[in-house]
Every structure is written in structure tokens, then in C-alpha cells.
Structure 1
């Protein structure tokens, strides 16, 4: 696997590298054409000047070539002075870009900050972006015409995930989960859930399960009850055997109570249990003491080693699943999970409310990133350009705009020639 830096570096393979190579070749070809045109004008000038006395009409050709040389040389000097000293001579106000790279970096960073990284402008731009529709189309037809884009994006995401510090991110993830859990109000939703269960009369199975659990517990611990009665009985009761009879009565009474509660939905104890559950639902939302006990129990659970291991498992499984999906997006879209994603894609296209909500969330998220990290992005641009040496920034800027700069030289040569022949013609009329 290639490192992330090589994946993102300009001109490293793929479509980006091919585009950069084509740009360099085009700029070099135009430079040869512009220089060749200047040499051609010099040849034409000296040739026409040599034969001008024999053929006076060649004066127009000489004037064109002479002015073309002046225009071409002037524009060559201007273009060259942007990037280096012409012919290596340190003429003042030449090599403009290398000498002012730090100022260029600061200016570019401020330009980005003033014109692009503004929350209001980003939000306005995002209004016209249908992110939900694009995601919906991709999820609905994952193997469509965007295959190369999908594979490229998948590889990039995979490289980014693999290059990130696993332990540090894991600690951040676990810290975030614990922080959210500490801030979670557990008592109120428990009370609300219990209240809804009671209101919809769905608590019957809960009570039935509790009765069955109590019956199994009594059956498994019957000897404990007999031991308690024996320990509490005096010598006379033991001598007369009343302790065994009393223990039998207690155990039989408990069995009968549980049997009656299981068979009679209107049993008084069962009714009291329902009233206690209803009261518990209210107290979970209103009783400070109970809410404090629930909060304390929650904090103890968060610090429990078993919970920490469970959170570790969530992080590892999630990270591995992301890596696997990014390496093989087609496999990730297979099976029930893929069907669910395709269904989500269809919903994003057909459900205007869901579409609008997702787009609103994306707009707020992007605007929030700009508001929170805009200054850091600007600082990154500025510091990156500051870190380049003079040759690096010269090569990158020249490769980016070199073709157009050579067109300036060509145009300067031709326009200069036209001005020269025009002035030569005007001289005959005056």
C-alpha cells in the first residue's frame, strides 16, 4: 500500500499525474514555438535588410520583423522576470515569484479566507448542492458509470483510514463515547419508557417473567429458607418438630402465592406490583434521590472494565469494517447490508423530507467546519507555501500557467510586427 503522502502528491500516477505530464509537455511545446518564432523574425529581419536596397518593398517585411523582435524580446523578458533572473543577471524587480513567495502565500491564504472560507458564503453555495440526491443515486446504482470515481474514492478513504494513528483515534473514540455517556440523562428516558409500557398495557409479560424467575429462585434456594427458620427456632420448637412444619408452611405459602399471581391477572399482589411500577415511572422522572442513584449506577457501569472492553470491540470492529468496505466497495454493497443501502438511496431520491433534512445537515456541517477550522485551513495554505523553496514554487506556478505565458510571447511578437509595419506604412504617408 502506498503511503498517504504519495497518494496525495501532485503528479503521482493516475489521472492527476497524466494531466500534470500533459500540462508540462504542452507548456514546453509552446515555449519552443514562441522561441522559434522569435528566431524566425530575426532571420527575416537580417535577410530583408540585406536585400531591401534591391527590393524596396522588403522594407515592410523588415519593419514587421524588426518590431516583432522588439515585441517578442520585451515579452520574453517580462515572462522570464516573473520566475527567474533573465540570463542569470540579477536585474532589479526580476525573479518576482521566488523573491515574494512568502507574500504570495499570505496573499493567497487571505484571498481564500476573504472569498471562500466565510460561513455565509459557504452556506449560500451549499444551498444549490443536492448532496442527498447524489448520495441517493450512488447508493441506488453503486455499479453504474461512476466506477472509476468509486474505486478512486475508496482507495483514498482506505489509505486515509490506514494512515491515521489507530491508538490515538481509538482513545479519542472511547473518550468521546464515555463523555457522551456521562452527559446522558438515563433516568428520564427509563421513566418515559416504563410509563409508555404501562399506558399501553405491555407490562404483563414483564410481571409474568418476574413471577417465573421468583419461582425458579425459590425452588433453587428452598434450603436457605429452611435454614433460616431452623436458626431462628428455639430448642422447644426443634424438639417438637415445629420448625420443620413452620418451614414447610412458609415454603408452601410462597409457592401458592406465586402460583396464584401467575394464574390470576387481578391478584392483589400483582395489582400492587403494577402500582409500584407506575410509581417508579413517575419517580424516575421526578425523585432527585432515585435519579441520583441511577446516575451513580451509570457512572460505575462506565468505569467497569467489561464496558471498556465492549467499547474497544466496537472501535476495532468499526475500523476493520470501514477498511474492508473501502478496499472492496462492491463486496460492502452485497448482501442484506447492500440491499438496505440501496433502499436508503431510493428513499433519498423519492422522499423530499428526508432529502431536505440530509441536505440541511450537510450544509450545517460544512458551514460548521468552515467556522471552526477555516483559520487552520488558511494557516495550512500559508505555511505550506512558506515551506516550499524558491525552485519548487517557481516550477509549480510555471507549469500551471506556462502555456498561457508562452502565448503572451507569441502574441507580443505578432502584435509588435503589426505595429512596426503600420508605423512603416504611416511614414510613407506623412
Structure 2
């Protein structure tokens, strides 16, 4: 468009020279000459006006030219103030948001498979989380997570908590399978170490018992008695040994909650465990495995977890799309939130605009504004050339009449 406008100006100059050459041949050439002369003047004047907005015409430092680059900072402040006074004020924001169904639009986007809202949101969130996780120093992040976790553990008094859990478990009879498992484990341990028990009895028996073979009989009796005892405990829910175990557990639960000495010992053990270097080494290994697992899941968008997330987002979108009451509540919340943001942070938002424009160099501002206005600037030159020419014809005609 710049070349077209310049070409029209050159054409006017050529027409002017031609009209001057044949001016006396016919009265009509006078109108052509007036049209071309006035068109050149109008084209040159508008070229000067358009150019003066963004730069010095022909590089000459004429006053009041290069208006945009010379007043860049003032333009930035004026633009920011205009935004704040006309857009970022609560009535305008509230009125605009009142006519918008943000929740419905979000629900339609998430629920529609053709739009893929839930998939894109899931993939975008997964990629962002993976990039953040990869960009952070794994050792430092692991230490920070460990420090935060251990600080919370240190603040928590575990003894009453364990006591309450144990007491509730006993009251609900949920400890019975644990006792049975312990008894079975004791039976298997006894079976695996039967020979060691026999050897221990043989070693402690005197020579007479060993000579008569009674030590073997004694060992068999001891083992048979233990096996019988364990079997009776498993079979009989009301066995006295079970009652003793339950009594001991109940007393332990009570002491964990109310015995100051036991609670202090538990706290000391907890502190020693948390402060043990071996625990730190163990945690670092656990953290590395957790981090690798999280990255693997985030990098596999078709995995089970990603599919579940996509289904959940789609279901959320359907609720948002189909539930007018939910839409009303969410839209009201969004409107109040955004109005509050415009009140609290409107100044910072427009300051960001102002400071960003101020940081641009003059050439950048000139190029961006000129590109934004674009073709219309050159149409000003075209119109100026043509309108000037027609005005010249009118003036020439009036001059002939007068």
C-alpha cells in the first residue's frame, strides 16, 4: 500500500508535466493541470502528515515530527490511564461479566470430545508439572520435602495418637486377625527352629537324662505342649492367653495416652529416628523413586492415571454444562473474584502495560504501531491525493467562472 500511494503521487507528477506541455491546446487541459497540481500537493501533505507521526520526514529534524517515538513514555502512561479509567473499573468489569456464562463455556469445552478440552487441559497440566519437576534440583527438592515432612512429624505427638488408634482397634475387635496372624507366625517360627530347641534341651539336660533318653522325651513334651497351646489359641476365641494379650494391649493403649514417662520415651525414640542419618539416606532413595514414578506417569498421557483424570474432567464439564444452578454459583464467584482483582490489582496491571511500552525502544514502538494501523495510513495518502485533485478541479472551475 505504501508503494501504491507513492506510485499514485508519481503518476500525479507525470500528469502535471503532461498537462503543462499541452496546457494551451485545449481548455480541458487546464482542469487536468489543476487536478494533477492539487493532487500532488494533497499527496505530499498527507505523506508528510503520515510520516511525521512515526519519524522525521527525509530525516530532517523538523519540529513536531516523529511524534510517536518522541512521546513514547507519555503515550504509555496515557494508554495505561485510559485502560484503568475505562476498562478496569468495577462497574465495567461486573457489567461485562454479567452477560458472560463462564461456567457454561468452560463446561462445554471440557465435556465436548470434539473440542478435546479435558484432554488438552490434562496434557497441558501434565506437561507443565513434568517441566517444573524436572527443572528443580532433585536433591534440594527432596531435602525440602523431607525437612517439611520431618518438621510436621516433630510437631506431632505420636504416642497419644497411637494409643487412640490401638484403643479403637481393640474396641472394634479389629485386632483379632492380627493376634491370629501372630500366633500362626509363632507356630511357623517354632516349626522352623524345632531342632534348635531340641539341641538346647539336650545341652541343658544332665548326664542321667541323656543316658536314659529322657531328654528326648522332655524335648518332645515341650514342643508338643507349645504346638497344642498355639492351636488352642487359634481355635478358641475365648482362650485365656488371648485375654492376657488383649489385656496387655489395652493397658498399652491406656499408657500411651496417659503415662507421661512412656510418652516421653516414645517422643525421644521418634526424635532419634528422625535425626538418624540412615533415615535421611533411606528417604533420599524413596524420594528418587517417587520422583521417577511421577515423571513417568506425567510423561505417559495415555496411562491409567491420565485416563482417569480425563474422565473426571469430562464429568466435571458435563455437570458445569447441564446444571444451571451450579453455573449461577460459579459465575457469581468468578464475577466477584475478577471485580476484586480489578479493584486490588488494577493499578499494577496498567503499570505493567505502561512499563512494558516504556522499555521498548523507539523503533520497536514505531514499527508495532505502524504495523497495527497498517493499510489505513496509506489510504490516507491515497485519499489525500485524489481529494486534493478534485478540490483543485473545483477551484479551477470557480476561478474560470469568476
What band does the TM-score fall into relative to the shorter chain? 0.5 to 0.7
Output one character per residue of 1:35-77: Cα deviation in whole Å (capped at 9) or x when no partner. 2222233334444455555544555555444444333323322
Aligned with 1:71 (options 36, 39, 42) = 42
| Aligned ranges 1:7-18 → 2 under 5 Å | none
| 1:287-302 → structure 2 map (5 Å cutoff) | 289=264, 292=267, 296=271, 297=273
Structure 2: gaps (5+ residues): 210-214
Mapped to 2, the partners of 1:304 and 1:247 lie a distance apart of: 47
- Note the alpha carbon deviations across 1:274-320, whole angstroms, 9 max, x for none: 63586589679xx9758856863556599521111221232234335
**Could you tell me how far apart the structure 2 residues matched to 1:288 and 1:377 are?**
58
The counterpart of 2:234, out of the listed 225, 245, 262, is 262
Counterparts of 2:182 and 2:90, CA distance in 1: 56
CA distance in structure 2 between the aligned counterparts of 1:203 and 1:226, rounded to whole angstroms:
33
Distance in 1 between residues matched to 2:221 and 2:91, nearest whole Å: 80
Cα pair distance change 1:112/1:166, threshold 3 Å: farther
Partner residue of 2:282?
A: 306
Q: 1:42 aligns with which of 5, 8, 13?
A: 13
Task: Say which is worse superposed, 340-349 or 105-114, in terms of deviation.
Answer: 105-114
Which residue does 2:51 correspond to in 1? 80
Matched, 1:316 2:292: yes
Q: Is the 8 A contact 1:173 1:315 kept in 2?
A: no
Give the Cα separation in 2 of the matches to 1:292 and 1:50: 111
Q: Does 2:374 correspond to 1:402?
A: yes
CA distance 1:265–1:391, change in 2 (3 Å): same
Question: Larger Rg: 1 or 2?
Answer: 2
- Alpha-carbon separation, structure 2, partners of 1:84 and 1:426: 38
Moved more, 308-317 or 291-300: 291-300
8 Å CA contact retained: 1:302, 1:308:
no
Q: 2:311 aligned to 335, 343, 351, which one?
A: 343
CA contact (8 A) 1:283 1:290 kept: no
Give the match for residue 66 of structure 2: 95
The one-character-per-residue Cα deviations of 1:317-369 (angstroms, maximum 9, x if unpaired) are 433554x44xxxxxx33x6445424422431233348x8799979x989x99x
Structure 1 unaligned residues grouped into runs of 5+? 1-29, 326-331
Secondary structure, counterpart of 1:304 in structure 2: helix
Mapped contact 2:107–2:317 kept (Cα < 8 A) = yes
Distance 1:410 1:316, change over 3 A: farther
**CA distance in structure 2 between the aligned counterparts of 1:257 and 1:122, rounded to whole angstroms:** 80
The residue that corresponds to 2:177 in the other structure is: 205
Give, in angstroms, the shift of residue 195 of structure 1.
7.3
Q: TM-score, with normalisation over the residues of structure 1?
A: 0.58
Equivalenced residues, count: 372
For 2:150 and 2:90, how far apart are their aligned partners in 1? 32
CA RMSD in angstroms, aligned pairs only: 6.0
Cα displacement (A) at 1:414: 3.7
Query: Which residue of structure 1 aligns with residue 107 of structure 2?
Result: 133
Q: In the aligned structure 2, how far is the partner of 1:290 from the partner of 1:364?
A: 51
Q: Distance in 2 between matches of 1:420 and 1:59?
A: 10
Q: 1:179 to 1:96 in 2, by over 3 A?
A: farther
**Any residues of structure 2 matched to 1:238-257 within 5 Å, and which?**
none
1:56-205 equivalences in 2 (<5 Å): 56=27, 61-100=32-71, 128-130=101-103, 133=107, 136-137=110-111, 141=113, 144=114, 166=134, 168-171=136-139, 173-175=141-143, 177-182=145-150, 184=152, 187=158, 201-205=173-177
More displaced 10-residue stretch of structure 1: 127-136 or 36-45: 127-136
Is the contact made by 1:69 and 1:413 (CA closer than 8 Å) also made in structure 2?
Answer: yes
Q: What is the CA–CA distance in structure 2 between the aligned matches of 1:122 and 1:183, rounded to whole Å?
A: 44
